[in-house]
Amino acid sequence: MYGTEQITSMSGDFSNTNLNYLYFYRTCALTADITTWQFPSTLGTLSIYYTQMTGNLENVDFDDLTSIQLRYSCFSGNISGITMGTGSTSIYLNNNDLSGEITTYPNSPSSNLFLGDNTGLTLTLSSTYTPPANRFEINNIGTISGDFQNLDLSNTTAFCMTRNSNITATNFDKLDITTLTTFAFDNTNLSGDFTGIFTGTTNFTSLNMSTNYNFSADTTNWTLGGIQSMGAYFTPIYGTLCNDNVYTLRVNGSCISSNIETDFVFSGRSYWVDLSSTCITGHLSGVTIHPNTYQFNINNNSGLCGSNEFSDYLFVNRKNWTRNYSQVSYQSIGDAPTGTYQEGDLGTYSGDHWDLTEEQVNNLAAGIDYDGGGSNTPWTSKEKVWWNECARCPILAHSLGVRLRPKGRVI
């Protein structure tokens, strides 16, 4: 049942059916109490999203279900009394009104256990606790207290604890994260210097730690392994962060002092890079980016230079971009492209500039008339920037050999 706003009530007796999947999504007017429902033994998945449905989950029989997805609704119950079947592999109970101590959760391990956005839940790490899930999510719960050294993640590869504003647990930098491939702790109240947390063995593919305004750490000796995606924007980490396989790297507003030429490799597969307003240094003549880049922003870094060389690089490679839209921005750095931001001299060409071929554009930029037979004023770096921003088409231009309407932005 999807998006039905007219149904206000229904019988919850499904016992005489052979259903194996029961799905309710955005049934805003339906205010059923699922504790009165009867499920058939054939039912494997119960999925309820964004509803006004209620019920104390301590009184629901989940024994035959393998997937329980009760999210963004009004379900209640103490976590210690909610029992799942031994075959339940995916359990999503986030965004409800659950309460209790998470360490009392009584069920067998599952592949996913999502308990976030239940502010009545607490996690007390006064003794060793091993989450019963491969993916464990406790975003925005009531409190996290005790000692992070007591959190045993040896059976967990993904751990998310974002938007927690009442963390009093100590020794976060001593948390054993060697088994994690995904770790997220954005927007928390963690406070202090946690330099040691990522200096040991790591296996991350994704690390998100943005908007932790009181979290600091020297990244110089961090070992981030094969990380693909990192977010640490507006978190005051510092030092020479390194990544030789950048895909997504968003650390704008941090204090890293990496050298953009030697500490990062963007050419392999960079997609979204934001190093704006940091302390990075280096010369842009040594930087190449992947042709499928969506955003590459390095604004407001006075330690960077090489605008002319980077503008020329982008101009020369303009036909190689493979995205329908991309943005490259390097404003307010240590130097700026020379010239005036305007269309360059078109020599004796009198037609529509959209009809110029790539070869003719190259001739004009080099100071040769468009047909290769004369001369004109060579284009400045800013005029090349203008062309890239106002007259480039990253898709099809290289195969059609003609200019099409603009599809992207540079500076």
Q: What is the signed CA dihedral for 313, 316, 318, 321, rounded to 10 degrees?
A: -70
Q: What is the pLDDT of residues 63-93, one digit of tens each?
A: 889 999 999 999 999 999 999 988 899 999 9
Q: Which residue would you say has higher pLDDT here, 17 or 5? A: 17
Q: What is the pLDDT of residues 269-304, one digit of tens each?
A: 899 999 999 999 999 999 999 989 999 999 999 999
pLDDT of residue 398: 37
pTM of the model: 0.89
pLDDT of residue 397: 38
Domain borders along the chain are 1-188, 191-284, 306-411
